[in-house]
Amino acid sequence: MFHIGPHRIDPPFLLAPMAGVSEMPFRVMAFEFGAGLATTELISAKGLFHRNKRTEQYLAFNSEVERPYSLQLFGGDEAAMAQAAVLAVEAGAQIIDINMGCPVKKVTQTGAGSALLCDPKRAAALIVAMRKSVQDSVPITAKIRTGWDEHHINCVEMGKALQDAGCAALAMHARSRAQGYSGKANWDLIGELKSALQIPVIGNGDVVSAEDAYLMQQQTGCDGVMIGRGALGNPWIFRELKTGKKYTPSLTERKDLVLRHLREHIRFHTNLDEARSDVQQRAVRSFRTHLVWYSRGLKDASFFRERVMHLDTLASVEQALHDFFETTHVDIRKSLPETESDEIDYRQAFG
Ligand SMILES: Cc1cc2nc3c(=O)[nH]c(=O)nc-3n(C[C@H](O)[C@H](O)[C@H](O)COP(=O)(O)O)c2cc1C
C-alpha cells in the first residue's frame, strides 16, 4: 500500500497506461480484479481543447469503479499543459499523470513524451505550472523511462528534479527511449531511483506474472508495480496479486470474461453512433488484438485467430468464441510456466 496525494493505492499493483488498450472497459475490469490503480492511455493536452468524439471517449470513465480516476496527459508546452490540467480536473480526474516516456516520433518531435527526459528542468517546470493551474487540487504524477539512450541514463537526476517540483509519485518503465519495448528492463535502475527519492516510486517493465511483481518489489524496494503487457488477455493477474494466491481461470470463466469484454468494448466504441453498422464493424475489428491475447496458451488458438480475423459482426465473433471454447483446452506447451500447486502463496515465497 502507498499513497498518491490523498489516495490510498491498495494493493500497490497498477495497470499500465496503454494506448488502444487501457480504455474504460479494460480499466474497469482491472479494478474489479483487484488493481490498485488503472491510468488512462495518453491523451493529448492540445486535443483536450478541441473536444472531439475521440477525446470524449478517452475521457469516459466509470466513477463507481475507477477510484481514483487517473488521467494521463502528454504535451511539451507549459501553458497548454497547465490549461489541459484544469480541463482534466473538470472532466473528473483525481490524479493527473504526465507522459514522459513515449518514444513515438510524432510525440517527441513536439517536445513531449520521452523528449522531456533530455531536459529535466523543462519537465519539472511542467509540474510546477500544472500544480499552480489546478491549485494543488489533485496530485500530479509522472511516468518516465531510464533515459534517452544508453549514453544518457539520467533517471535519478530526472526523478530528483520532478520530486523538487512537487511530483506526487513517479513511475518508471525501466528501459531507455532507444530500447523501445525490446531488450531487458533494467530493474537495478528502479532500485537506484527508489533509494534516491522520498516520493513513491512505481517500477515497470518485464512483469508478466505475479512472481515477477513480487520479485521486482523485493529486488528494488519500489512502492508499487505497474503491469502492462502481462495483463493483456490476463486481467486475472490482478486477482493473483491481490490475494497472493495462484489463480487459473476455468475455460467457462475465460469465455464469459471475453464475451463481457467484447460486448462492453463494442458498446464503448459505438454508443455515440449506434445506428451505423460501419462503426460497429470497426469496433469489432479493433477487438481482434484482445482475442489474440485471450487465446494465448490455448489449444488450436491459431485456427481461432485465423477465423476471427475475417469476422466483423458481434454475432459472428460470439459464435466463433462459443465454438472455440467448446473444444479448446489449456495447451501445457504454450501456456506460461506454472507452479505445481494452485495454492502457492507468492507473498510467502517472495516475502
Ligand atoms: C500497446 C501499448 C501502448 C502503450 N501506451 C502507453 C501510453 O499511452 N502511455 C504510457 O505512459 N505508456 C504506454 N505504454 C508503455 C506501458 O505503459 C509500459 O510502460 C510498457 O509496456 C512496459 O511495461 P510492460 O513490460 O509491463 O509491458 C504502452 C505500451 C504498449 C504495449
How does DSSP assign 315-345, residue by residue? HHHHHHHHHHHHH--B-TTTSPP--S-TT-B
Contact 113 CB / ligand 1 (< 6 Å): no
Give the number of C-alpha atoms closer than 13 A to the C-alpha of residue 285, restricted to the C-beta side.
8
Mutate to test the pocket of ligand 1, among 14, 18, 43, 229 (most ligand atoms within 8 A of CB): 18
Please tell me whether residues 185 and 313 are part of one structural domain. no
**DSSP character string of 45-100:** HHHHHT--HHHHHHH---TTT-SS-EEEEE-S-HHHHHHHHHHHHHTT-SEEEEEE
Averaged pLDDT for residues 180-205 = 97
* Average pLDDT for 125-150: 98
Q: Which one of 243, 268, 296 terminates a domain?
A: 243
My answer on whether 255 and 211 are in the same domain is: no
Q: Does a structural domain hold residue 351?
A: no
* Shared-domain flag, residues 260 and 214: no
| Alpha carbon distance 159, 170 (integer Å) | 7
Residue 334 lies in a domain: no
pLDDT in tens, 313-336: 999 999 999 999 999 988 755 554
Final residue of a domain: which of 225, 243, 261? 243
> Is any atom of ligand 1 closer than 6 Å to the C-beta of 81?
no
Nearest-atom index, ligand 1, CA of 207: 26
CB 177 near ligand 1, within 6 Å? no
DSSP annotation of 207 reads -
For residue 12 the three cell numbers come to: 500497490
Catalytic residue annotation:
102
Residue pointed to by grid coordinates 474504460: 24
3-state secondary structure string across 94-128: CEEEEEECCCCHHHHCCCCHHHHHHCHHHHHHHHH
For ligand 1, say whether the CB of 171 is within 6 Å of any of its atoms.
no
Angstrom distance (rounded) from CA 26 to CA 62: 11
Question: 34 and 11 in one domain?
Answer: yes
Dist CA 131 CA 153 (whole Å): 27
Same structural domain, 81 and 163: yes
Domain CATH code at residue 205: 3.20.20.70
Per-residue pLDDT reduced to its tens digit, 60-103? 999 999 999 999 999 999 999 999 999 999 999 999 999 999 99
Q: For 13, list phi and psi in degrees, rounded to 5.
A: -120, 125
Q: What is the mean pLDDT of residues 206-215?
A: 97
Say yes or no: 227 and 115 in one domain. yes
Are 261 and 239 a contacting pair, CB within 8 Å?
no
97 lines ligand 1 (CB under 6 A): no
Residue 343 lies in a domain: no
Does one domain contain both 125 and 173?
yes
Q: Are residues 228 and 258 in the same domain?
A: no
CB-based contact 241:213 (threshold 8 Å): yes
The fraction of the chain above a pLDDT of 70, given in percent, is 93
Q: Over 70: is that where the pLDDT of 274 sits? A: no
Gap from CA of 326 to ligand 1 centroid (Å): 33
Nearest alpha carbon, ligand 1 atom 14: 18
Task: Report yes or no on 277 lying in a domain.
Answer: yes
283 and 187 in one domain?
A: no
If one counts the domains in the chain, the total is 2
- pLDDT tens-place string over residues 228-267: 999 999 999 999 999 999 999 999 999 999 999 999 999 9
In a domain, 262, yes or no: yes
| Listed residue (62, 77, 71, 60) closest to 139, CA to CA | 71
Residue nearest (by alpha carbon) to ligand 1 atom 6: 18
Q: CB-hemisphere CA count at 13 Å for 332? A: 2
Q: Ligand 1 atom 26: the closest Cα is on which residue?
A: 228
Structural domain includes residue 135: yes
Q: Are residues 207 and 297 in the same domain?
A: no
Q: Check pocket membership of 83 for ligand 1, CB cut-off 6 A.
A: no
Tell me, yes or no, whether 336 lies in a domain: no
| 150 and 260 fall within a common domain | no
Closest CA to 47 of 15, 89, 21, 75: 75
User: 278-297: b or e for each residue (b if 16 or more CB lie within 10 Å)?
Assistant: ebbeebbeebeebbbebbeb
> Is there a single domain that holds both residue 148 and residue 284?
no
Mean predicted lDDT score pLDDT of the chain: 92
- 162 inside domain: yes
CATH number of the structural domain spanning residue 280: 1.10.1200
Query: Which ligand 1 atom is the nearest neighbour of the CA of 99?
Result: 11
CA atoms of 291 and 127, how far apart (whole Å): 38
Range of the domain at 264: 251-327
pLDDT at position 51, please? 80
**Residue that is last in its domain, among 196, 218, 243:** 243
